[in-house]
Amino acid sequence: MIKLIGTKRVKASNHDAKKIRKNGKIPAILYGMKKENTLLEFGAIELNKQLSITGEHGELIITIDGVDRKTLIKEIQREPVDHYLTHIDLEEVDENKIISTEVSIHFIGEDSVRATGGILQKEKNSIKVQCAEGIMPKYVTVDFTGLTIGDTVRAENIKVAEGILILDDATSVIASITGADAEEEEVAPVKTEVTAGAVPEAETAEVAETK
């Protein structure tokens, strides 16, 4: 895991965040556990690398003033056009507090599906869970090993540790395996539009022949 070092900052104006980003940093806020909220900034490269590994849900370990702090990602903001990271909200972990949050889904065993000619259709890349913050998983795993064409993985099929509750509907589809034939688009029947009051071409020809 990349060590994320957070530097405390003081907001001097409404344009501070823009200046921070120009200097290669990402502004952040840490919501404290019975403490005042802390304004922070992280190196943009380091933070983006860590998010590419852990995903945009779940836990992050950060270091502030030489002390490691366990946090949960509350919200990530991105620029609407280019989608680059602009801000991150974190919440300090209370080991015993029961919380609900989204965690990433890691898919494994995909090669075994492709080897049998199957095609994976992933419907979700995260799932909502509830548990004590101290046992919150970084991700849950879906294993496709042994599955074949026609199989479907639902929320109820995901295995989690004791004390962790999946909040998504048990029947919600996480992923399914289809065959190549299912990927072919059906050709829609061609419809002939007839303007109100107009006579279709075939009928017009028939009328002409009877005159």
**Degrees, nearest 5: CA angle 159-164-100:** 125
Q: Give dist(CA 4, CA 87) in Å, integer.
A: 15
- pTM of the predicted structure, to 2 decimals: 0.57
The pLDDT tens digits for 10-43 are 876 667 788 889 899 999 999 986 678 999 999 9
- Give the chain's mean pLDDT: 83
The pLDDT tens digits for 42-81 are 999 999 998 888 778 778 889 999 888 888 888 999 999 9
Q: How confident is the model at residue 209 (pLDDT cuts 50, 70, 90)?
A: very low
pLDDT number for residue 124? 95
